[in-house]
Amino acid sequence: MATESAAMFDTDELVLNMGPQHPSTHGVLRLVLRLDGERVKDVDVVMGYVHRGIEKLSENRDWTQIILLTDRMDYVAAATNNLGYCETVEKLMEVEVPRRARYIRTILAELQRIASHCLWLGTHAMDIGAMTVFLYAFRERELILDLFEEYCGARLTYNSMRIGGLPLDLPSGWDAKVRAFCDIMDSKVEEYEELLTNNRIWLQRTRGIGVISGPDATALGLCGPPLRGSGVYRDVRKDEPYAAYDEFEFDVPLGTRGDTYDRYLIRLEEFRQSIRIIRQAVDGLPEGPIMGKVPRLLKPKAGETYHAIESPKGELGYFIASDGRSTNPYRFRVRPPSFCNLQGLRPLVIGHLVADVVALIGTLDVVLGEVDR
Amino acid sequence: MIDTVFWPLVKIVVLLNAVMVSVTFMTLLERKVIAWAQSRLGPMRVGPYGVLQAIADPIKLILKEDITPAKADKVMFTLAPIMSLVPAFVVFAVIPFGADPFYYVADINVGLLFIVSVTSIGVYGIILAGWASNSKYPLLASLRASAQLISYEIAVTMTLVSLILTAGTLSMVGIVEAQQEAGVWFGFIQPVAFVLVLIGGLAETNRAPFDMPEAEQELTGGFHTEYSGMRFALFFLAEYANMIVISAVIVVLFWGGWLRPFPSVDALAVLDYIPQWCWFFFKMFMVLYLFIWIRATLPRYRYDQLMRIGWKVLIPIAIANVVITAVVKVLL
Amino acid sequence: MAETIAFYTLSVLILGLAVLVVTAKNTVHSVVSLVMTFLCVAALYVVLEAEFLAVIQILVYAGGIVVLYLFVVMLVNVGRPPEEHRDPRRLSVLGLGLAGAMLLEVAGIVAYSYSRSTSSVTAPAGPSPVQGNTEELGWLLYTDYLIPFELASVLLLVAMVGAIVLARRDL
C-alpha cells in the first residue's frame, strides 16, 4: 500500500533557472535549481558572466596600472582591493610604508568595510522582503561615498592607493567629518538592529537557515563572516596584522550556530568594531610623509610572494611573481573571498526552499565582479 | 422602475468610477507613504508633489504593448486578470458608507457572507494567471496563492463567525446598527478577532508580509511575471481594490462603520456635524495606512511558515474565539 | 415572468457548462467550467430566494473546493494522454445499470412528491420563531434536522481522518 501510493504520488522535479537575470542573484550569478515542490534538491552554480580576465590582463600592465584594475574586482570595496595589491607589491619590493600612510589606509579600509556591509545589509534585507532597511543602509553608504569623493574624487572605483603609500594627503577637516560620520553610524546601527534583530519574521527567516559547522566551513574554504559565523576564529587583521591594525584595539565577533542569523549578527558587530578602529585611527593619526621611498620605475627583483588582507567579504589574497626583468608581473593571481564563499552556496542551499535560496545568496555576500574577475 | 433599476444603476456607475479613481490614488499614497518611511520623497515630478503620478501611471500602462507569450494558454491568459478584478469590484455593492440607503447599493441579509464568498473567487485570477503563463515562476506563484488562500480563508471565516455571534446579524448595515445599539465599536469587544481579520486580510490580498505569490525577490513578480500593459494594470487594480474592500470591511465590522467615536455618549453629539461618510472614509484611510506601514516595515514570511501560522496558530485561535464568544453570549 | 426567463437562461448555462466540464480536453479548462457551473447554480439559488444557500455554494464549492481541484490539476502532468480502459464493455454495462438506477430514483422522487402534493416538508414541529432565510435554515437544522446534521458532520470528520490516513505514509 505504502509503496503503491508512493508511486502514485511521484512527482517530476522542476528545473528552475534562476538568473543570470534575476533580482536576487546580486549581479549575474546563475543558479540551476532542481526543485521538488519548492524544496531545493540540487543546485548548479554557474558563474563567469562578468569574466574580464583581470589576472591575465595584469600580467601585461605596469605595476602601477594594476591598482586601477583591482578597483574593478570587488567594486563595492575598491579601496580594500587597492590596499591588498599595494601591500603585496610592497612586501615583494620590501618597501617601508610611512606610519601616517598606514593609518590613513586603515581608515579607508574600515570605511570601505562599513560601506560594503551597508550594501550587504541592504540587499540581504531586501531579498528577505524588508525593503526599508535597503534604503536606510544606502543612505549611510552615501555618506561614506561622500567622504571618499572628498578624499580621492571618485565614488566607486577609487584608485586611492599607491605602491609605497598614498597619492594624496587628507583634505583639511576630513578627520572631523569622519568623526561625525562615526557618531551618525553608531546610532544608525542601532536603527538597523531595531528593525531586524528581534523582528520575529526576520528571526524565522534567518535562524536555522543555512547552518554550516566550523569544520565544514573550514573544509570548504569559506572565509570572513561566513567562517566566523560558524565559530572559527580567523581574521587576517588579528592573525597576520597589516597596515596599522596591530596598533588598534578591536574584537572579532564569533558566531555559535553558524546560521544566517549569526552571520547577520557578526556583520552588524563588525560595523561597530570598524567604527571603533576608525575612531582610534583618527584620534592617533601621526604626522609625517605619506609616501615611502619608491623608485620611479618599479622593477621588483625576481621572486614571488603571497599576501592576504581581511576584505569585508573575507580573506583577500594576492599572489604575485616577478621575473625581475620586466616592468610587469610575471604571474598575477587573486584569491577572491567571494569566489571561495560562493563554493559554500551549494551545500547551504540543498534542502531549503526557494525563498531561502535568495536569503543564502545574500548571507554569503558575494560580489560577482570579484568571483569572475 | 426608477427605484429598482435606475437609482441602483446610477449608484453602481458612480461607485465603480470612484473605486477606480481611488485605486489609482491609492498607489500614489502607497508610494508616498513608503517613501517617507524610507526617508525619501517618492514621486515628485508629475504635477505638484507628484499628485498627477496617479494619472500618469494608468496612461502609461494603457499605452504599453500588451504581450501574450507565444506558449501561453490564450483564453485563460486573457480571462485571468478579469477574473481577479471583477470580484473585487462586485463586493462594493454591499458596503454601506452611511446609514441612509442613499449611501449603499444594496443591503442584503447575508452581506458579510457575500463579501467572504465573492472575495474568495478572486484568487482564481491569480491561480489561472500563473498557470496560463506557461512559465515556471508564475506556476510556483499560483501554487503558493492557492495554498495561501485556502488556509487563510478558513481562519477569517471562523473569526467572522464570532463577530456574527456578537452582532446577531449578517447584514453589513445591521452590524453597524448593532454597534450603535451596543454603544461601543466591536473592535473593543473583539480585539482578537480584529487582529485575526487584519492578518487574514493581509494574507488574502497578498500584501506584505504575506506577498508570497508576488515576491519579486524570489519569483520575480510571481503570477504577473509574464503580464504587461493593461492586463498587468488590471491585476494591480484588483490588488488595490481588494485592499480597499478589506479595509472597508474592517471598518464596518470593528470600527463602527459610519458611526462617530463613542456613539452612545450624547456629550459628543457635536461630532455628528461631521457627515457619516467622512467618518467612514477617515477610518478606512487609517486602516489603509496601517497596511502600507506594515509593508514598509516587515520582511516577508516564507511560504511554509505562512501556512504553519495559518493552520496552527490562526485557526485554533479563531475557533477558541468563537467558543468563548458563544459561551459569553449565552451567559449574559 | 422575469423569474422564468432567469430560470431557463441559468439552466441552459448550467447544462452547457456542465457538458464543457466533461468534454474539455484540457483539465484546467474543465475545472474552470466547473467553477462557472457552480456560480450559475448559486445564481439559481438567488432566483429561488435562497440567498444563504447561494452564498454558501460560492464560498464552499467555487471558492474552496475547486481551488483545491485546481491545485492538484496543476501539479499533475496534464500533457499525458488518458489511459485506455482494459475492458470497456464491462464498464459500459455497469454504467448503464447505474444510469438506470438513477433514472428510477428520480422517477420515484417525482412520483412521491406528486402523491403528497401539498407542502409537508416545510412544516416544522412548531411555528418557526424566527424570520429570514438564514435564521430559518439555522432553526430547521438545529431542531427538526438535528440528527441528520450531526451525522453529516461526523461523516465529514470520518472523511477527513480517512484522507489524512491515506495521504500520510508514516502513520
- Chain B residues in contact with A196 (beta carbon < 8 A): 299
Give backbone dihedrals phi and psi of A320, rounded to 5 degrees, phi first. -130, 130
Q: What is the pLDDT of residue C119?
A: 53
**B75/chain C closest Cα distance in angstroms:** 9
Amino acid identity of residue B332, one-letter, is L
Long-range Cβ pairs for the range C100-107 (8 Å, 24+) = none
Q: How many CB pairs under 8 A join B and C?
A: 77
Interface test with A, best of B139, B219, B292, B304 (most A CBs within 10 A): B219
Is B40–A358 a contact, with Cβ atoms under 8 angstroms apart?
no
Q: How many CB pairs under 8 A join A and B?
A: 82
**C58/chain B closest Cα distance in angstroms:** 6
Is A132–B218 a contact, with Cβ atoms under 8 angstroms apart?
no
| Per-residue model confidence as pLDDT tens digits over B154-166 | 888 888 888 888 8
Pairing verdict, β A314-322 and A331-335: antiparallel
C-alpha cell at A245: 591594525
Chain C CB within 8 Å of residue B143 CB: yes
Domain residue limits at A79: 2-372
**Measured between alpha carbons, how far is B276 from B304 in angstroms, rounded to an integer?**
43
**B26/chain A closest Cα distance in angstroms:** 19
* CB environment A218-243: b (16+ within 10 A), e (fewer): eebbbbbbbbbbbebebbbbeeeebb
- Chain B residues in contact with C39 (beta carbon < 8 A): 121
| Per-residue model confidence as pLDDT tens digits over A130-188 | 888 888 888 889 899 998 888 888 888 888 888 888 888 888 888 888 889 988 888 88
Over residues C148-168, the mean pLDDT reads 87
pLDDT at C120 over 60: no
Which residues 6+ apart lie within 8 Å of C35 measured at CB? B121, B124, C62, C66
Order of strands across the sheet that contains A314-322:
A303-311, A314-322, A331-335
pLDDT at C143 over 50: yes
3-state secondary structure C4-33: HHHHHHHHHHHHHHHHHHHHCCCHHHHHHH
| Per-residue model confidence as pLDDT tens digits over A227-252 | 888 888 888 888 888 888 888 888 88
**Measured between alpha carbons, how far is B211 from B228 in angstroms, rounded to an integer?**
19
Tell which phi-psi region holds residue A19, choosing left (phi > 0), alpha (psi between -120 and 50) or beta: left
Over residues A349-373, the mean pLDDT reads 85
Interface test with A, best of C74, C75, C78 (most A CBs within 10 A): C75
C-alpha cell at B232: 498587468
Q: Closest Cα partner for C35 from B130, B117, A177?
A: B117
List, as ranges, residues 21-60 from B with C-beta within 8 Å of A. 34, 37-40
**Measured between alpha carbons, how far is A243 from A247 in angstroms, rounded to an integer?**
9
**Measured between alpha carbons, how far is A88 from A70 in angstroms, rounded to an integer?**
12
Is B217–A127 a contact, with Cβ atoms under 8 angstroms apart?
yes
Which residues 6+ apart lie within 8 Å of B77 measured at CB? B68, B69, B129, B132, B133, B226, B231
The pLDDT confidence band at residue A53, using thresholds 50, 70 and 90, is confident
Q: How many CA atoms lie within 13 A of A182 on its CB side?
A: 21
Cα-based torsion angle of the residue sequence A335, A372, A17, A207 in order, rounded to the nearest 10 degrees: 40
C-alpha cell at A315: 580573506
List chains touching B (3+ CB pairs under 8 A). Answer: A, C
Residue of B nearest to A360 (CA): B218
Instruction: Give the largest Cα separation in chain A, rounded.
Output: 84
Residue of A nearest to C76 (CA): A11
**Measured between alpha carbons, how far is C147 from B11 in angstroms, rounded to an integer?**
46
**B276/chain C closest Cα distance in angstroms:** 28
C-alpha cell at C101: 438506477
Interface test with C, best of B126, B127, B152 (most C CBs within 10 A): B127
Is C169–A2 a contact, with Cβ atoms under 8 angstroms apart?
yes
Is B136–A16 a contact, with Cβ atoms under 8 angstroms apart?
yes
**Measured between alpha carbons, how far is B279 from B263 in angstroms, rounded to an integer?**
12
Neighbours of C106 (CB within 10 A): 10
The pLDDT confidence band at residue A288, using thresholds 50, 70 and 90, is confident
Residues of chain B with pLDDT under 50: none
Is B110–C68 a contact, with Cβ atoms under 8 angstroms apart?
no
Cβ atoms of B190 and B317 closer than 8 Å: no
Chain C CB within 8 Å of residue B147 CB: yes
3-state secondary structure A218-239: HHHCCCCHHHHHCCCCCCHHHH
Q: Which residue has the higher pLDDT, C19 or B134?
A: C19
**Measured between alpha carbons, how far is A12 from C69 in angstroms, rounded to an integer?**
19
Q: What is the pLDDT of residue C88?
A: 59
Cell 470593528 maps to which residue?
Answer: B254
List chains touching A (3+ CB pairs under 8 A). Answer: B, C
Tell which phi-psi region holds residue A351, choosing left (phi > 0), alpha (psi between -120 and 50) or beta: left
The pLDDT confidence band at residue A64, using thresholds 50, 70 and 90, is confident
Is B302–A16 a contact, with Cβ atoms under 8 angstroms apart?
no
What ranges in B183-299 are assigned the alpha helix state H? 186-189, 191-204, 216-219, 229-254, 276-297
| Per-residue model confidence as pLDDT tens digits over B26-35 | 888 888 888 8
**B225/chain A closest Cα distance in angstroms:** 12
Measure CB to CB from residue A135 to each of B40, B220, B302 and give the nearest one.
B40
Long-range Cβ pairs for the range B181-189 (8 Å, 24+) = B183/B263, B183/B264, B184/B263, B184/B264, B185/B254, B185/B255, B185/B256, B185/B259, B185/B263, B186/B253, B186/B254, B186/B256, B187/B254, B187/B255, B187/B256
List, as ranges, residues 193-212 from A with C-beta within 8 Å of B. 195-196, 199, 201-202, 204-205
Residue of A nearest to B137 (CA): A16
Q: Which residue has the higher pLDDT, B168 or A110?
A: A110
Number of domains in chain A: 1
Question: What are the residues facing A46 on neighbouring strands?
Answer: A30
List chains touching C (3+ CB pairs under 8 A). Answer: A, B
pLDDT at C168 over 50: yes
Q: What is the pLDDT of residue B183?
A: 77
Is A129–B305 a contact, with Cβ atoms under 8 angstroms apart?
no
pLDDT at C132 over 70: no
Report, in this order, helix, strand and coil percent for chain C, each rounded to 5. 75, 0, 25
- Chain C residues in contact with A5 (beta carbon < 8 A): 166, 169
Cβ atoms of B98 and B277 closer than 8 Å: yes
Is B120–C58 a contact, with Cβ atoms under 8 angstroms apart?
yes
Q: Which residue has the higher pLDDT, A96 or C171?
A: A96
Q: What is the pLDDT of residue B172?
A: 83
Residue of C nearest to A6 (CA): C169
Residue of B nearest to C60 (CA): B117
Give backbone dihedrals phi and psi of A345, rounded to 5 degrees, phi first. -65, -45
Cβ atoms of C62 and C39 closer than 8 Å: yes
Q: What is the pLDDT of residue B217?
A: 67
**B33/chain A closest Cα distance in angstroms:** 12
The CATH number linked to A252 is: 1.10.645.10
Q: What is the pLDDT of residue B303?
A: 79
Chain B CB within 8 Å of residue A129 CB: yes
Q: Please compute Rg for chain C using Cα positions.
A: 20
**B297/chain A closest Cα distance in angstroms:** 6
Neighbours of B193 (CB within 10 A): 26
The pLDDT confidence band at residue A6, using thresholds 50, 70 and 90, is very low
Which residues 6+ apart lie within 8 Å of A304 measured at CB? A92, A319, A320, A321, A322, A331
- Chain C residues in contact with B117 (beta carbon < 8 A): 55-56, 58-59, 62-63
| Coil vs helix vs strand at B44 | coil
Residue of A nearest to B296 (CA): A132
Dihedral of alpha carbons A279, A284, A287, A289, sign = negative
**B218/chain A closest Cα distance in angstroms:** 6
pLDDT at C85 over 60: no
ipTM exceeding the 0.85 mark: no
**Measured between alpha carbons, how far is B158 from B325 in angstroms, rounded to an integer?**
12
C-alpha cell at B212: 508570497
Amino acid identity of residue B202, one-letter, is L
Please calculate the CA angle C139-C144-C145 and round it to the nearest 5 degrees: 90
Residue of C nearest to B143 (CA): C71
- Chain B residues in contact with A205 (beta carbon < 8 A): 299-302, 305
Cβ atoms of A276 and A193 closer than 8 Å: no
Give backbone dihedrals phi and psi of C20, rounded to 5 degrees, phi first. -60, -35
**B52/chain C closest Cα distance in angstroms:** 38
Least confident of B168-182, B279-293, C5-19, C84-98: C84-98
Is B302–A125 a contact, with Cβ atoms under 8 angstroms apart?
no
**C17/chain B closest Cα distance in angstroms:** 16
Amino acid identity of residue B182, one-letter, is A
Over residues C17-35, the mean pLDDT reads 84
Q: Please compute Rg for chain B using Cα positions.
A: 20
Is B127–C75 a contact, with Cβ atoms under 8 angstroms apart?
no
**Measured between alpha carbons, how far is A361 from B153 in angstroms, rounded to an integer?**
34
Is B110–C70 a contact, with Cβ atoms under 8 angstroms apart?
no
Amino acid identity of residue B101, one-letter, is P
